[in-house]
Chains A and B, each alone.
Chain A
């Protein structure tokens, strides 16, 4: 039907489908996509920093343990386990995160004071207070994906992969 030629009616009906598919796109999806363009400048800035990659995710750990037969148990377990733990590691610094219902608890390892920043895809940057032993809290739990940058007393800066909770 789509090769060689379309009849007028087929062509009009295809155009109708194309317009319908376009209307089904949530408006926020396109707007957010356009807004992400500003991320380019931040991205360029981040490439100079040390990257901290995800080395542990309690969810991934669970998923690895979960066989086909136990997949129905996943929902049950989730209701009991409120916490998710994540670790991001670079050579000289690890960032450990624990997700709770009302926030994300963070710990820099080795413990040290630093400046921590939450970067969002819309290019907003929020400073997070860090205590002298490297504790910090993100509250509430971020609803969109984010990256953390840590500017250490030594002058070094570390940035995590994207984090999606």
Chain B
């Protein structure tokens, strides 16, 4: 398994740059940080079975904390872990606070689930960083190649003839282009470290 530390390394240069620019008042850099970690915040909220309104409430608390702590981030690789634990704390606060009043059945569940949640949190961090790296690599492909990848993973799967029609691309060039796109993604600086890391058990 890829460890939390390894998973975060690939994106840490980008994240360090975004943090530095956000601190200088660059709202687009801040927006990129929010977009990067939004899936992680959402998945932690999902795990706590929050509905959309509560998820938005929790996320607001996470973004406010992130904004307040932006200046004290020393190690960008630790940021995903910080986001996940902050989200979890906000979730538990909400479930045992106001929401817990109306949803007593969830309070018991939270108590019982606390232990394996810590392990799941590590898994969610690794997965979120992996996804962020892949999306970063995808976004760096030329637009037509991005569209090709999106059509290749369409569910249900699309025939090459249909993909060729949609992209106005000869069927014969889809296979080789697919190959080139995947190689570019594999070799992307955000993705490559995930593939090179030796297999070892996730550390706690």
A78 at the interface (CB under 8 A from B): yes
Q: Which of B68-120 contact A (CB under 8 A)?
A: 68, 94, 96-98, 100-105, 107-108, 111
Which of A14, A24, A30 meets B34, CB within 8 Å? A30
B14 within 8 Å of A by Cβ? no
Query: B-facing mask of A1-41, CB < 8 A → 1, else 0?
Result: 01111101001111111110110111011101110110110
Report whether B2 and A71 are in contact in the complex, using a CB–CB cutoff of 8 Å. no
Interface contact B195-A32, CB-CB below 8 Å: no
**Contacting pair B131 A30 (CB below 8 A):** no
Q: Does A26 contact B42, Cβ atoms closer than 8 Å?
A: yes
Compute how far the CA of A40 lies from the CA of B70 in the bound complex, rounded to whole angstroms. 11
The verdict on B169 contacting chain A, using a C-beta distance below 8 Å, is: no
Over the window 161-204 of chain B, the binary record of Cβ atoms lying under 8 Å from chain A Cβ atoms (1 yes, 0 no) is 00000000000000000110010011000000011011100000
Asked whether, in the complex, the Cβ of A34 is within 8 Å of the Cβ of B27, the reply is yes
**B63 partner, pick from A36, A63, A71, A76, beta carbons under 8 A:** A36
Question: Which one of A12, A19, A74, A145 contacts B60 once the chains associate, using CB atoms below 8 Å?
Answer: A145
Whether, in the assembled complex, A132 has its beta carbon less than 8 Å from a beta carbon of chain B, the answer is no
Q: Which of B2, B100, B185 contacts A74 (CB 8 A)?
A: B100
**Chain B residues near A63 (CB, 8 Å)?**
96-97, 100
User: Hey, which chain B residues are within 8 Å of A165, CB to CB?
Assistant: 98
Q: A106 near B: Cβ within 8 Å?
A: no
A73 beta carbon closer than 8 Å to chain B: yes
How many residues on the A side are at the interface (Cβ–Cβ under 8 A)?
A: 50
User: A101 → chain B, closest Cβ, in Å?
Assistant: 13
Closest B residue, CB atoms, query A165:
B98
- Chain B residues, Cβ within 8 Å of A6: 186, 195
A22-B135, A30-B38 as given contacts; A36 in contact with B102, CB under 8 Å: no
Question: Nearest chain-A residue to B135 (Cβ)?
Answer: A18
Q: Is there contact, CB below 8 Å, between B182 and A22?
A: no
Beta-carbon contact of A15 and B185 below 8 Å: yes
The reply on B150 being an interface residue by CB < 8 A is yes
**With contacts A18-B134, A71-B104, A74-B107 known, is A29 near B42, CB below 8 A?**
yes
B107, B111, B131, B153: the one contacting A21 at CB < 8 Å is B131
B1 touches A71 (CB 8 A): no
Bound complex: CA of A75 vs CA of B124, how far in Å?
31
How many whole Å from A133's CB to the nearest CB in chain B? 29
Q: How far is the CB of B21 from chain A (nearest CB, A)?
A: 12
Residue of B nearest to A17 (CB): B131
Distance between Cα atoms of A78 and B107 in the complex (Å): 13
Which 4 pairs between the two chains have the least Cβ-Cβ distance?
Answer: A78-B101, A75-B104, A33-B34, A18-B131
A-B contact pairs, 30 of them (CB 8 A): A2-B194, A3-B1, A8-B179, A14-B130, A14-B134, A15-B134, A15-B138, A15-B149, A18-B134, A18-B135, A19-B153, A24-B42, A24-B43, A25-B41, A29-B42, A29-B56, A30-B34, A32-B60, A36-B67, A37-B27, A39-B67, A43-B67, A63-B96, A71-B108, A74-B100, A75-B102, A75-B104, A78-B101, A121-B64, A145-B57
Q: Which residues of A contact B (CB under 8 A)?
A: 2-6, 8, 11-19, 21-22, 24-26, 28-30, 32-34, 36-37, 39-40, 43, 59-60, 63, 68, 71-78, 84, 121, 144-145, 162, 164-165
